[in-house]
Structure 1
């Protein structure tokens, strides 16, 4: 049984989106009330998503359509983390071939990076969740990897949940490229600790006061564990109860959904 007190003491809540707060265009019960309750308690929340296919503006628009009032400052995406990483590692001088959506390319250009539309003009490869993926992009990626180009990916997710099931995500495409080239990327998003670390730094909240809430063990829960923060696994998305005995890492807390977290905070 969950001890309520530790959850009630948290000041920063880091929420995954897909499978945690909504699925497709269906907002899960209790989400609006939960976010309001956190703010009413003097707490903060951020939305952390590995999905690089959409801009923050698109996420704000989607949640607004679902009846959740948000602003850009509430979000941190894997592209935001990627931009931070590239700046910290001297990536401004490279020319990037991007296996990602036009939205991802636009975000990189807006941040001052050079995006090459032709493989011949590139000297580094970036991989994201590319809903516009073509075989030509895969071929170009393989050629660049064979030439030894630096290789960075936004996230390792095997699949992305949708209202009609799962579709291949960035991790599945990276696995295919590994089979073809024996090259693996540097991964930036969850399960790496960078995204929660950036969120805590921006919010001015300690690791002990932070909780990461998500539906995936190998990305959400692992990211929280790697950042040294407590984690809450919700069983509303990819992970099911029968997966828990072999889960690694183990979440700090497990609840059926975010509505159950609302009940705890209001008790």
Structure 2
């Protein structure tokens, strides 16, 4: 039954977030039936996170039918809505017609040097947001965001087009809040909301579009939706889709 094994495909999604890492794995047969899957948090081994990650990826190096995707929340990610000559010297990823992600080239080189795999795809968080956006029924203008430990990936879109996209630093929001009130007892939810408020202020200075709903993805609790609503008065929902799991499904969709 060796031919059956040859038709198996492995899909790994490696999610780096501020010194931590999680891996989603699926093993599928030729009928796309999941035979094995796991979702693990990876701990550094002897202080080396890549050493631990490579233990999970050791089979991917030997198997030509293994597909590895890597995602992170680097501030250097961006999104443009048109192609131009200015992109020639940048590391880019075409997501859709005239929807192009600009990737963090320094991080890409770091992964290339440290991940022991034949090849991998470096996925922009905006690619994940774009697929989430296309996967939902949209009326009006929505703000989609992925919360990382230190950053937010934000994309605003209507039914017909992407209007804006930006990476936001949560650390900068924290520093701003400290400067404005040195006695303030700040928690992570307040920093999160302050970053969204600052972005909305900036967005409305440049655009006439009115954001009707905010969709939040990432490691957040369900109660954050109401908390954000009380701060910005925009209907807010926490998306049911797990970002890492969803990125893994994108990997399968594009490579099977």
| TM-score computed with the length of structure 1 as normaliser | 0.41
Bigger radius of gyration, 1 or 2?
Answer: 2
Whichever structure has more strand as a proportion of its residues is 2
